[in-house]
Chain A
Amino acid sequence: MKAWRALSLLLLVLVLVLVGGRPGAAQEADPVPAANPPAAAAADPAGEAAGADLPVAIEVTLGFGNKVPQDGFLSLAVDLTNRGAVTNALVTILAQDGGNVLLRLGPVELEATARRRLVGVVPARPTLEAGALIVTVEDAAQGALLGQATVHPEGAPARLLVALDRRGGAPADLSSLRTLEAGSDTRWTAVITTRLEDLPQSPLGYSGLGAVLLGDLELEAWPDAEARALAAWVARGGHLVIPVGPRARLLRSRSLLGRHLGTALRPLPDAPPERDVALDGLLRRLRGTFGLDAGEAAPAAPAPAFAALLPSPEDLVLLRAGERPFAVRRRHGLGLVTLVAADLWAPPFLHSPVTARLLEALLTDGPVHTPRSRLLFKELAGVRQPARVGPAFAVLIIYALIVGPGVYFVLRARRRGILLWVAIPLGAAVCTALVPLYRIVLRDAESTLVGVRLIEGWSGQPTSVETTDALLFSGSLEPKRFEYVGADAVAFSVVPPRRRGAPDLGAALAAGPDGLAFSLPVALWGTRYLSFEASGGPPGAEGAVHLRFPDLAEDAAAEPTARLRLRWDGPTLRDAFVIYPAGPGPLGHAFGRDLSPGTVVDEVARSTSPQSLGARESDLGGLVTGQLLAAHFLPAVGRERVAYLMGLVESPAPLRALPNVRTRAFATVVAIELPVVFENAVPYGVARATREGSTVGAVGSGSVEREVRTRLLLPGGAGRQAARVRVRVTAQRVRSVHRLRLDAFDWRAGDWVALLPREEGEEERDGLTRRVDLSLDEAPARFVSDDGAVLLRQRFTRARQDTDEANVAQLDVAVEWVEPE
């Protein structure tokens, strides 16, 4: 009988196993509430057909042109068409691989037969890694599935250039845009957007883009949110190219975008454009520069509208059409605005091959939008915050002692050892009954927050950029509410890097024009890293660093003497110091005192190693300052030849977290970029170079002789006389640099003076790189124009299909000025 019972039980188990398996069923215990459709069903090709039977139809638009950038964020728009009754709907977008919820929208009321658009922002990299995105619409109250769609994101293989223009097409063939940046070839993908409703409402929606080309897209009708989003993105590191043409007045006075761009449009006066301006000379130079001057070109149509551009001294004129500035670049916060006088969608640029090359030239060396949280994360995320696990462990240890040796020895003393089998379970049950009381302890437990706020500004600019990063440690089970005050504020989470490298961007959490507030679940004893970005007011510093160099002829790498002249009007700046470029590397100067509001500084810098400035192991501000110096500001000083005033301020944190969250440490770091004035000399690496090329003639059937002119603009050189001029020629070539053909323009004689080729001389070699310094000793002042430019010319022969970059040498100039009496 017992055998039959055993067999029956076995059969029952086998039946249970078989019955328990259901094909295609989801076995979910997903903690994400409500929005969790079976991954198997979503991956099923028939899943989309099944969605057609549901009452809500879904259309999803990802980013610009459904192209997903490789980094940053992208906007996501969900268009819902309700074919059923009125309902309150919640939209969830989650990744097919892993089931991560990328975005939740709503709840929103969907009226019957109505269409509703919801927009949000999702992080780019998780979207690409998701495999596919599953978009579900559920009844917010009952959780019933109302609509479902699957989206397969398409990654953009290159940097994205988004053109905003209602005309629907690009001004020229932009399918093979390439720029050379930091020695590497960068490809671009161009996308056209023609509708205002496709524009992001958050600056994060632009964060994955390389640049935006603003054409004619109903500038007067831009909603406030979209205008603020684009302006804020530019200030935080975006690159906006504006072919103005006839739209100067529209942009300046009738467009919210123009209002929010503010001083970025200073070179653009509120004036009508010039009409029918001939640009043959410019086009000829551009064709020559871009190697498009083979053969005779037909006369170009005049530009129907040519905007007047009035660059300030701090602006950079990239191109001129005769005497008129044609392309002017202006710094705006961390980003750039490039104004082009003519409309690229109009003659002579429309459908011209020159236009694509012109855009490449304008996009080269543009800013790359990178969240500052990537700089702050390493130090801040490493801050350990203790968890209140002591009470729990204490109780459990006491329990172990009692039910183990405690009960045993007590019972053994009473010769009742057999009762262990009752005492131990009883003890376990009693302790289990007491455990829920721990929840009361947790309910009142404190959470802590550490944060850093980085304020970046630029001397003389009215705007600043604020990045506030916070690491929250949760000591309780409740969700946390965050409140942040700031203009055009955005918030997103940051997660640690999977491998060595920069941390990854997590979900976008909120955005708001004047601040934001949101709730976020944080696991007990878990941490969340959040980053907030906002626009700020004037940084409170004006001034410059004046550098005076010793005799550069003796030592080209000699350290200059720096004189700091600045005024500080911000809150008291503690541990203030300045870093500035000097010779081979940056140097620093610590003020040794706090800078109170209204402080005027005029002192000679005591040159010190910048690595020791501001960095302190003892507090958060010092740690972060040291990290920022090493990771960003010191390299920027060496690269951009600018100076920075840095320090710590005591200011109330713009961030508040509730409930029961104590701020353990919060540091505010200020970094103000100061211009550098080269008083008596301009060393190598400072002059800004622009290049134009032209074809001199054909050499045989496969080669051409090219002429490349390099114009080196010396800062502060207008109206000054050069006492000494040296030219540095650097090239990667097998043969000696002395064999190049290089001429310098004599502005007084109006003719070229040959510098190379010449007899063999001293030449530095570093691998394939050869470098030679030429001293223009005979009347060097003649080589510097009245506006402080040195013009050099190279001639070489190359194959038709080659580019100039492979053949032209890098030119740099160092000048010493005549001292005024």
Chain B
Amino acid sequence: MARSPDAAGAKAPAEDEPYRAAWIFDNPSVGRALRYTFGDKRLARAVFINSLLLIVALAAIQEAFGRGQLGLFSDRISYGRMAFLGLVTIEAVILSILAPLGLVNMFEAERREECFDQVVASGASPHRVVFGRFAATLAFLSVVLFSSLPFFATMIVLDGATFGQVALAYVVLWTYALAVTSIATACAVGFDDAALPVIIGLLALGLTLAMGFARRTPPVFAAWSPVRHVVLGMDDVAQDLRLGAFPPPQPYGLDVDCALLSVAMYVVFTLLGLAYAFVGPDIELTEGLDSFDSVSISRKQEATRARRGVARTLLRAVQLRFFYENLGPTARALSPLIRAAATVTIFAGAHVVFLGALWPHTAPRAFDEMAARLVTPYLAFAGLTMCLLALAGGGARASLLARAPVLRLGPAALGRFAALFLIMAFALAVPALLWALATSLSGYAPEVMFAPQVRGLYLLAAGYAAYVFAVALLLAMLTTNPYSATGWALIALFASNLTPAIWVPLFTGNLAGEGSAFLLDLSPFVAGYSIARPEDAFPFSTFQGDELVRYTHTPSWRPFALVHTVVGLACLSAGLALAWRERARALASRAEPPPAPAPAALATVAAEAPEPVGAPEPAPDPEVA
């Protein structure tokens, strides 16, 4: 049974569990989860199946080793080493499957039984449920992983691995389990805890195996797999078997130990996952947003949304958001900052890793040497990520109406709306700064690394991302739902990207002439091509009557830049104007902030009143817009 936070520090009754006053043992979920985890046959079954799989793997490897006479190829090929790789692979597979499964039905059971509201009304902190399940899953995985120790010890006896290699494998596997569990936790909180953890498990399994054994995967990406460091350690065996070389990861040309890189990745993903689990779903429960209204009783709206299948998703996210209203004031105050920091970390981290994987090990001497392997893939990645982040402008209205600022420094505060612009500015600057830093540290020639094509393509990608942000911002101000705003923004972008290509069939159908060829240049792909290959032209031909008409179009980026700059500025101006108006209206409606209601009151209000009642807000403070 949950206790209210006010009861913290009260003396525990004698019949209660020991250490109950401590946070972790006062957690109904942890206690129940531990008893469920260790008292149920799940653990015994998992340990038994894990051991059986390991035995089968050892037998299969022994058969393949003997039948294929692999030992004949080289004295470096031994059964022990092959078996060690097999054991690590099996454990990675087991952890990939079991880790997300521990988070299945974390909330779904209560929601299906329609008692989730009671959980929320009890005032229990969502962290206790979430992290309780997280800790229980980790304990479960730890026991399963530890139960494989005799198998690895046998490999030491067979001279297949050293004690250090086994210890390193355990560290990598455990941190891998930590990362997958953390990611699954965040996804279970943010999206779905019924089927999504299973999908995450399958994805993790596939990536682990594919990246672990693939030769052509960029080594930096391949370090995601907990098997990779063992595979690299057996590069000599692969060479003796003529399977090719497995290159170690060398981000930015630096030799980095694969296991260290893997652990670093897992730690970062763990922290990110825990951060998102800490902050919960990103839904503002405030007036002016229909995500809040979706829980109001309006049968026509409910029926409409139900037909579209959206109701359940929105309802779940809003229910969890209500659950996260049970967080303490400190946690609620820190959540926007943590969310912003996690977003920035993901963006920057992805760029660091991606560029590191592509960065050439020798200085390129011309743009053409790096165009295909570095510039194009990285700038494509940068453009895609910047645009994805720019679509966060669809949440501008929610940011504008957010109750808690991102950062408060004394009397000054940085609101979410302003933070949105800062994050976008950061995102636009990161690729350029990262590129410049890598060039400087590598000592490569700046005139090559900052060739006009590179600068032009980057400006094109960044400018287009800014345009996407402006469009999403405007649409956010015109709608009341971030999902709708993002959807409309995608439609608008899709249309604007593809429409220029219609000129081609119009020209070949003699419905458009050369004079209108500039419309083709409005496509970002054509504009990018004109920057990368300024001398290339597109040949077109059509028949006018019996006469063959040829037209060679030299693309240019100028029409694209002009049109999108004008439209983007217009959208931005309009969006800011609407935002100013909306902000003023919201401030006026909150002129007298109500006192913070008890958590039970929220549920009562939600159940009784059709009018949306805002959650308790801190005292209005001047916010930085």
Residues of A that sit less than 8 Å from B by CB: 3, 6-7, 9-10, 13-14, 16-17, 20-27, 29-32, 97-100, 381, 384-387, 389, 392-393, 396-397, 399-401, 403-405, 407-408, 412, 417-421, 424-425, 427-429, 431-432, 435-436, 438-439, 442, 477, 494-496, 498, 520-529
Determine the distance from Cα of A421 to Cα of B35 in the docked complex, in whole angstroms.
10
Given contacts A387-B62, A424-B47, A436-B157, contact A25 B149 (CB under 8 A): no
CB nearest neighbor in A for B168: A29
Query: B101: shortest Cβ distance to chain A, in Å?
Result: 18
* B216 contacts the other chain (CB 8 A): no
CB nearest neighbor in B for A10: B271
Query: B242: shortest Cβ distance to chain A, in Å?
Result: 5
Cβ A523 vs Cβ B159 within 8 A: yes
Q: List 27 A-B contacts (CB under 8 A).
A: A6-B271, A9-B267, A20-B256, A20-B260, A21-B252, A21-B256, A27-B258, A29-B165, A32-B76, A392-B58, A393-B59, A396-B150, A396-B151, A408-B41, A417-B40, A418-B35, A418-B38, A420-B44, A421-B37, A425-B146, A431-B153, A432-B153, A495-B73, A523-B77, A524-B78, A525-B158, A527-B69
* B236 contacts the other chain (CB 8 A): yes
Determine the distance from Cα of A100 to Cα of B62 in the docked complex, in whole angstroms.
24
Q: Which residues in A have their C-beta under 8 angstroms from that of B40?
A: 417
Q: Which residues in B have their C-beta under 8 angstroms from that of A29?
A: 165, 233
* B48 contacts the other chain (CB 8 A): yes
* B43 contacts the other chain (CB 8 A): yes
Given contacts A100-B240, A420-B38, A522-B75, contact A27 B147 (CB under 8 A): no
Cβ B143 vs Cβ A421 within 8 A: yes
Cβ B51 vs Cβ A396 within 8 A: yes
Query: B265: shortest Cβ distance to chain A, in Å?
Result: 9
* B24 contacts the other chain (CB 8 A): no
* B264 contacts the other chain (CB 8 A): yes
Q: Which residues in A have their C-beta under 8 angstroms from that of B52?
A: 400
Given A22-B255, A412-B41, A496-B72; 6 other pairs, CB 8 A cutoff: A9-B271, A10-B345, A21-B254, A421-B34, A495-B72, A521-B75
CB nearest neighbor in B for A474: B71
Q: Which residues in A have their C-beta under 8 angstroms from that of B240?
A: 98, 100
Determine the distance from Cα of A527 to Cα of B69 in the docked complex, in whole angstroms.
7
Cβ A384 vs Cβ B44 within 8 A: no
Given contacts A417-B40, A424-B143, contact A528 B75 (CB under 8 A): yes
Query: B190: shortest Cβ distance to chain A, in Å?
Result: 18
Main secondary structure of the interface of B (DSSP, over half): helix
Given contacts A495-B73, A495-B74, contact A17 B151 (CB under 8 A): no
* B100 contacts the other chain (CB 8 A): no
Choose one: B51, B59, B254; the contact of A404 (CB below 8 Å): B51
Query: A792: shortest Cβ distance to chain B, in Å?
Result: 52
Given contacts A100-B239, A431-B150, A521-B75, contact A6 B51 (CB under 8 A): no
Query: A399: shortest Cβ distance to chain B, in Å?
Result: 6
Binary interface encoding of chain B residues 36-60 relative to chain A, with 1 for a CB under 8 A from any of its CBs, else 0: 0111110111011101101100110
Choose one: B34, B69, B257; the contact of A496 (CB below 8 Å): B69
Given contacts A24-B255, A435-B154, A527-B72, contact A421 B51 (CB under 8 A): no
Given contacts A98-B236, A396-B154, A528-B71, contact A523 B80 (CB under 8 A): yes
Q: Which residues in A have their C-beta under 8 angstroms from that of B150?
A: 396, 399, 428, 431-432, 435
Q: Which residues in A have their C-beta under 8 angstroms from that of B159?
A: 477, 523-524
Query: B616: shortest Cβ distance to chain A, in Å?
Result: 22
Interface residues of B in 538-590 (CB under 8 A from A): none
* B65 contacts the other chain (CB 8 A): yes
Interface residues of B in 113-150 (CB under 8 A from A): 139, 143, 146-150
* B519 contacts the other chain (CB 8 A): no
Binary interface encoding of chain B residues 243-281 relative to chain A, with 1 for a CB under 8 A from any of its CBs, else 0: 001001001111111101100100110010011000000
Cβ B39 vs Cβ A418 within 8 A: yes
Interchain residue pairs A-B with the least CB separation, the first 7: A404-B48, A526-B71, A523-B78, A21-B254, A400-B51, A408-B44, A98-B239
Determine the distance from Cα of A498 to Cα of B258 in the docked complex, in whole angstroms.
30
Determine the distance from Cα of A389 to Cα of B62 in the docked complex, in whole angstroms.
9
Cβ A100 vs Cβ B74 within 8 A: yes
Choose one: A7, A30, A393, A435; the contact of B58 (CB below 8 Å): A393
Determine the distance from Cα of A429 to Cα of B71 in the docked complex, in whole angstroms.
32
Most B-side CB within 10 Å, residue of A6, A22, A400, A403 = A400
Given contacts A17-B264, A384-B66, A496-B73, contact A23 B253 (CB under 8 A): yes
Query: B161: shortest Cβ distance to chain A, in Å?
Result: 10
* B370 contacts the other chain (CB 8 A): no
Cβ A438 vs Cβ B248 within 8 A: no
Residues of B that sit less than 8 Å from A by CB: 34-35, 37-41, 43-45, 47-49, 51-52, 54-55, 58-59, 62, 65-67, 69-80, 139, 143, 146-151, 153-154, 156-159, 165, 233, 236, 239-240, 242, 245, 248, 251-258, 260-261, 264, 267-268, 271, 274-275, 334, 337-338, 341, 345
Cβ B51 vs Cβ A21 within 8 A: no
Cβ A439 vs Cβ B338 within 8 A: no
Cβ B47 vs Cβ A498 within 8 A: no
Determine the distance from Cα of A494 to Cα of B150 in the docked complex, in whole angstroms.
36
Determine the distance from Cα of A389 to Cα of B155 in the docked complex, in whole angstroms.
12
Q: Which residues in A have their C-beta under 8 angstroms from that of B39?
A: 417-418, 420
Cβ A17 vs Cβ B75 within 8 A: no
CB nearest neighbor in A for B165: A29
Query: B47: shortest Cβ distance to chain A, in Å?
Result: 5
Cβ A3 vs Cβ B79 within 8 A: no
Cβ B268 vs Cβ A10 within 8 A: yes
Given contacts A23-B254, A396-B54, contact A421 B38 (CB under 8 A): yes
CB nearest neighbor in A for B139: A421
Given contacts A404-B47, A523-B159, A527-B72, contact A436 B239 (CB under 8 A): no
Cβ A16 vs Cβ B55 within 8 A: no
Determine the distance from Cα of A397 to Cα of B53 in the docked complex, in whole angstroms.
11
CB nearest neighbor in A for B232: A27
CB nearest neighbor in B for A434: B150
Query: A122: shortest Cβ distance to chain B, in Å?
Result: 15
Query: A491: shortest Cβ distance to chain B, in Å?
Result: 15
Determine the distance from Cα of A401 to Cα of B252 in the docked complex, in whole angstroms.
49
Cβ B44 vs Cβ A6 within 8 A: no
Q: Which residues in A have their C-beta under 8 angstroms from that of B153?
A: 431-432, 435-436
Cβ B43 vs Cβ A420 within 8 A: yes
Query: B42: shortest Cβ distance to chain A, in Å?
Result: 10
CB nearest neighbor in A for B233: A29
Determine the distance from Cα of A291 to Cα of B603 in the docked complex, in whole angstroms.
111
Determine the distance from Cα of A736 to Cα of B468 in the docked complex, in whole angstroms.
84
Q: Which residues in A have their C-beta under 8 angstroms from that of B337?
A: 3
Query: A434: shortest Cβ distance to chain B, in Å?
Result: 8
Query: A324: shortest Cβ distance to chain B, in Å?
Result: 54
Cβ A27 vs Cβ B72 within 8 A: no
Query: B327: shortest Cβ distance to chain A, in Å?
Result: 12
Cβ B79 vs Cβ A524 within 8 A: yes
Q: Which residues in B have their C-beta under 8 angstroms from that of A396?
A: 51, 54-55, 58, 150-151, 154
Query: A510: shortest Cβ distance to chain B, in Å?
Result: 15
Query: B199: shortest Cβ distance to chain A, in Å?
Result: 27
Query: A214: shortest Cβ distance to chain B, in Å?
Result: 38
Most B-side CB within 10 Å, residue of A30, A98, A418, A442 = A98
Cβ A407 vs Cβ B73 within 8 A: no
Determine the distance from Cα of A528 to Cα of B55 in the docked complex, in whole angstroms.
26
Cβ B154 vs Cβ A392 within 8 A: yes
CB nearest neighbor in B for A99: B236
CB nearest neighbor in A for B345: A10
Query: B70: shortest Cβ distance to chain A, in Å?
Result: 8
Choose one: A25, A393, A525; the contact of B255 (CB below 8 Å): A25
Q: Which residues in B have their C-beta under 8 angstroms from that of A22?
A: 254-255
Given contacts A27-B257, A393-B58, A435-B154, contact A524 B80 (CB under 8 A): yes
Q: Which residues in B have their C-beta under 8 angstroms from that of A393?
A: 55, 58-59
Cβ A13 vs Cβ B267 within 8 A: yes
Cβ B41 vs Cβ A525 within 8 A: no
Determine the distance from Cα of A495 to Cα of B73 in the docked complex, in whole angstroms.
5
